Structure 1
């Protein structure tokens, strides 16, 4: 018999009140007297034998049961205890008989046990409970206690018989089972993967919340008894069923199968599914269970990684920089196409080679030492400008970045780098330095005023002309000052507002005519252009401007306005043809007389035309050549007699004067002329006929 069997036997015996042991003689009645005609004297030997047998059986049982068995009288004194109980207290039975619970247990426990005994004796009811017990000098244990009343032959309760046994391990196992059940429930409720159990017919017997959510159901319990056919398209459900049957037949699980499932709402998602045979405690297969993980995002990431790998390979093949990977000995393990083509025949078989096979020893040694330092320290080399010298003497400049190459565990396994050919950049850098010198020279010698300001309108740089205008000898004297230090409040406020608008909108102010009023009352006219000043990232950090003093121009403009009046008077009233042309012979301005002479009412109609629009090609060509000669030589044509042939055949004779037309700097920008109609020249007399036989030297 197992311990469990003994427990069951003991509990049943105790509950029935017929616990094995020496029973008192049954009470004699009339019925028993008729059934037992023997005299007491004759029956006594047999009864005695039976009693001895019963006691022997009882003692054999109680001494071999794993439970603790005791009997007490009504005063709570021990009248019997089996060897298990005696061993617990490490005392023989004789020392324990007559003792009470107060002699054996702590007072609080003894008090409780006495109250339990009294209740059993008062009610005659079985007491069955699991409770804590503390053996002398030991830790608290949990015991199953069953107490029943002991009755004499008259049925009077004369004591208590008890059986108890240690159920600490069972309690711990039960507690562990509860904990495991709680953990399982927590797992089932919170794990994001879909977990499900099915019977042999493919019906769900248990699912977690994730599986229920996947199937569009709020309560997992409502799925029990259903199958995939209730949630998925028929072909998909049939495929799933085939897989599960194969698992149950072959006992071979499906591990990490990637499958595309169409959900009830029509969306498709990818899952990694593992399914196994589900066995009962005897090892018989009773269904399947599985875990499905949604890998839709992982699939997208995989696709993205494949795309990125394609992009990487495309980048490696098309990047116009040298890209290379090296092992810990600085041997090339992978290079891009540009690097191979860059080295020609030497690059055809570059894998396994090193820089000593490609460059001069001096350059190769430096590169090797750099790479070994990177491998040793893990610190990259970023944007280092290097001079590469090739065996044939060719020199190139490159910008090189090298970094440690690590494996998946973070160990440095080599280096990788990108080298960009900046030979042209270095040449450009030299040219930029030259241009910067030119810029500084321009800043120092340009007569216009050039200045740079921060966002608060404070000067941060100015050219020599502006410094001289403000009376400063050194650039530092103007830094930090504003227009309010040099102009009236009204003018400075207007300039500041213009600059703040440029900072806000990024739109420049071009060729604005401004009237500057100086603190001493002096007035100057200037033309100003201001633009946003940006840093390397394109952020507006201030303004810069160029101001030209046009006070003299304004004065000349006033004089020009007066001259323009005279010119208009001449244009409208002179009888001669007066005109100005550009370098291509196009009319810029003509008098009204010229316009009318060619059939135009408004002189503006002639502007933009050429002599080819007004005369025959022959005459126009001659006039064009005269004007080009004037443009080249600067020499005028004075009072030239010309025969003008108009397109309608009309012929006029004119006296023409043409001269170079210059801008204020003296540069020839065109021609101007005056043409006056004159009478045709006299026809020369016809020559006399020569005498017959005459002739020079006749």
Structure 2
């Protein structure tokens, strides 16, 4: 009932939702009911606290504040564990209490704490889960002051402390000794462990338990010290062959206990059976010796590495391979310390992939250089090491020297080549009869082939060289690894699956895929085969493929053209719709700056308003640039040509931009540099974009140089920076619309620059080195040939 009164606002909130839509009279009745319940809650004789489901204190009554001894503000909104009035032991009791409540149990526990006034109080804590519509809303905690009752209980409990001391260690054999070291009593675990009866033990000396074999001088001395000096015995180890239970290793622990009802001091002796632990330690030591023997004598190189690919342990064979005197010399080092960079880097990448994916690397053939500089071949297997949570914390590897095997394989290949030559000679006559068929095949534009179920090509027409770059002989010699090894990784699985289905399910093999020619160029093939057949115990398929690269490129260009047309149309529409609102915003910023400027300098907030106006102006200018880029990219380029000074353009560009303090700018345009026939507005946009990009490429500062020079036919303008540079793979993409490497940008600035320069009959190129800088070169014809329509 106290909980319902204390947190009536919870119930009222629920009822108000259920009664939503009722007349005002009913709602007033709910409000009055809540006020009455609140009064009852505040005047309850028991302390009541409401905690939400996250542990924060939401409400408490007067009695709770009296017990706490502080103000309500010190508690409201705080997590109950941060109040710092409960000891860690009592806090643990409360936490366990909440877990039981969530499982549906009703709980009541006793806790003690020291309040703000310094009073030590004992409380009985009853806790209930409060649920609304089946969902947990919080916890109702009712505290009853049982300090006086607790004192009385403690006095009564003192008489039972002797028994409770035994219960505290009930899992171990316990025995209580008097001052003469005779057994007063023992727990049931003692009798079970030693297979004795109370009559056989009680009132007898502890040493009589095993016919005086426990009468060890040091043990007797220590037990006497427990009595005389009140010192404890901790893990005193005794080995003994006990009657009925056999040989045991037992750590002993003892302490002195006393009671008001018993003036003589007593000893509580706890006996632990450590036999299994000792045996496990011996077994572990034995297993370690076996492992060490394996590590020291196996001829294969074995090593353990941490997640950073540093050696944790290696065996003797691996140490010898790396030219080390002892395996310990490798600990903490990496492959980079022992092997050439190329091998070490590849090994590191393989190992980091194992750490990342958890997938093992099995039987990988690797080429290494040993301590004597000789090339060796090894078969490496590496598997992840996981912790108790399943996380990869390292790798273990084993490397087997297969150099002799490789040499044998080389000899075998020679024998195979000789055999092949013999077979060729014997089949020469047969090939002559096939020549007419082959000539017929060569006149077919498609490449025809015959392959086995395993993918080995046994015939392919000569025109394969025109398409693939390899001759038929090269394909025969290198086998299926050549063909499948050059198929694009994204298409390989599709090709294998279709080829497998041809032989296993009889499904027609018809697939388009990319393959890399001998010269490295990627081409598209349309490959097909309809049926398979058996010949001399093997299964074959005949097929043909066509080069469809040109068709694929046309399709791609068509898609790109359609996409860019849609982008252009959208860009024009967006630019038109945003231009008027942007102009209004620019006017508002201008008016705002005028108003702020007219304010008295004595106003404290004037500098802040000025910064706000400047920030708004920068952002509006940035949005205006985006709209201009969109419109310039989307609409036809119409030039308004006039003779213009290049130096004037550069001065205007630098005047409109805010030059970072850590960047040095040098403009190297001669005063007598000839005027150019250009659209000064558009050309200013080009160089503004290039200079702004240069500033952004030098976040740590640097130097920007603008140089101009002449040839017989054109003016060259170089915009150089010392910034971060452009990645090699991105240089060919930077003039593509919508391509950008910036977190803030649309990828239209450079494409627009390219359109403007090319509309002037010129060109723009780029050279860049990562971490050294970038040079954009703009070439403008001295005698203008304008591209109409842009």
TM bracket, shorter-chain basis:
0.3 to 0.5
When normalised by structure 2's length, the TM-score is 0.30
